[in-house]
């Protein structure tokens, strides 16, 4: 009985990968791993140690920034590749941009998506008696 239960469990487990990692995209030269952060409940902050890698065909001056706030996270001078360790701590998906710091042009984008397991149901608070 236990064996069959375990077998069913493993069958279901195999339907979904337990670890969520980003698929490297050769065309996108900016990659975040993992690219998904899963919180237990909707509306709660999610935490993950994210490694952001970038690579370019030419040596140059590049900066990594938050795509929404445009806050510069790190810049590299005369580099062709770089890595940034990012402590993800957010209640929403965060997108990143790699820009050429000489002309401000956006070269590549990536994002860390936020997911949750339990969806919050809108609570209806009202006075009710029968």
Partner 1 sequence: MLHNQLKPYLKLLFISMCLWCNTSIASNRYYADNTLEPTTGFAWDWSAGAGYYIEDSFLVGMDSYSDGLELDLNLALSYNRFYLDIDHSQLSGGVIIGYSIIEQFNWELDIIGTNVQAGFDDTGLDFYNTGTIDELAGIHTRKYDFNTGLRLARRFENSQVSFEYLHDISNAHNGWIINSFFSHILPWRNWEFRTGVGISAFSDDFTNYYFGITSDEATANRPVYSTGTASSLVFEFHAEYPLNQHWVFLGGWLSTWFSDEIANSPIVSQSYQHKAMVGVRYVF
For residue 1, the minimal CB distance to partner 1 (Å) is 7
The residue among 104 and 117 lying less far from partner 1, judged by its C-beta, is 117
* Residue partners of 89: CB distance under 8 A and separation at least 6: 45, 46, 47
Bridge partners, 86 (sequence order): 50
Do the Cβ atoms of 99 and 65 come closer than 8 Å?
A: yes
Residues that bind partner 1 (CB under 8 A): 1-2, 4-6, 8-9, 11-13, 15-20, 36-41, 44, 46-48, 115-121, 123-130
For residue 95, the minimal CB distance to partner 1 (Å) is 19
For residue 11, the minimal CB distance to partner 1 (Å) is 8
* Separation of alpha carbons 31 and 41, rounded Å: 26
The residue among 61 and 93 lying less far from partner 1, judged by its C-beta, is 93
The residue among 10 and 103 lying less far from partner 1, judged by its C-beta, is 10
* 43: enclosing H helix or E strand: none
Q: Exposed, middle or buried, 114 (CB in 10 Å: 0-12/13-18/19+)? A: buried
The residue among 34 and 60 lying less far from partner 1, judged by its C-beta, is 34
């Amino acid at each position: 009985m236990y064996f069959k239960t375990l077998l069913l469990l493993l069958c279901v487990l195999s339907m979904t990968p337990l670890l969520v990692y980003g698929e490297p995209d050769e065309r996108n030269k900016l990659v975040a791993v993992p690219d998904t952060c899963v919180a237990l409940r909707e509306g709660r902050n999610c935490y993950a140690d994210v490694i952001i890698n970038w690579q370019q065909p030419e040596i140059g001056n590049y900066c990594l920034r938050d795509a929404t706030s445009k806050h510069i996270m790190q810049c590299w001078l005369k580099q062709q590749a770089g890595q940034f360790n990012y402590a993800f701590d957010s209640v929403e998906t965060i997108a990143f941009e790699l820009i050429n710091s000489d002309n401000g042009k956006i070269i590549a984008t990536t994002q860390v998506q936020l997911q949750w397991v339990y969806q919050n149901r809108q609570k209806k608070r009202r006075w009710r008696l029968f």
